Amino acid sequence: MCFACSVAVFATKGEWGTSMFFVAVGLGSMGIGGYVCAPPAIQADVCDYDELRFQRRRDGQLLGLWFFSGRLFLAFLMGTVLAALSATGFDSSVDKQPAPAKEAIRYAGFAVPAIGYLFAAVVMKTYPISQSVLQQVQDGIAACKDGKGIQDPLSKSRTIAWTPSQGAEKTETGNEPSF
């Protein structure tokens, strides 16, 4: 809600534009905490569920994919915004920009982020791993390590049972094998 108000305030034109921008930043920053805190929590949940499904920790691979896809999206977004600015007549070498370029900058500054935040809100609202599901995932990891099969917490039609990994099980003496 705070972000929507800040977008509406920022969209205003006229002599109040600069003052309204700072009001918009203040209002927008009040509601952004969840969007800053949620991704790391989601990453950890996904890593735990991935371990339950595939019997090994792949945090580095998953986080690498997460960061790569994020950077790829940002590159695509920047290219799209720059192409749109160029199409509206934006020229960095002149002091006074044409009206369509100013409008494009205004929309790139509030409409594009607003759409991104709305998408993030939908993802967070529909995110399937709640606290109780995460507890089931963590309990499932422990059960699978003990050799028990469990029902998948996200897909109730699937049963998960780990098989001993080739060369990864402990030896008779309890020492970890060398790889």
90: tokens are: 């934006």
Region 110-132: mean pLDDT is 84
Same domain, 9 and 96: no
Same domain, 74 and 104: yes
Range of the domain at 18: 1-31
Same domain, 52 and 101: yes
Asked if the model's pLDDT at residue 1 lies above 70, the reply is no
Mean pLDDT of the chain: 80
Same domain, 2 and 70: no
Q: Considering the domain boundaries, does residue 96 fall inside one?
A: yes
What is the count of structural domains for the chain? 2
Same domain, 141 and 127: yes
Q: Considering the domain boundaries, does residue 66 fall inside one?
A: yes
- Give the tens place of pLDDT for each residue, 61-99: 999 999 999 899 889 988 988 898 899 999 889 989 899
- Give the tens place of pLDDT for each residue, 31-53: 666 667 778 888 999 999 999 99
AA identity, residue 129: I
pLDDT band at 165 (very low <50, low <70, confident <90, very high): low
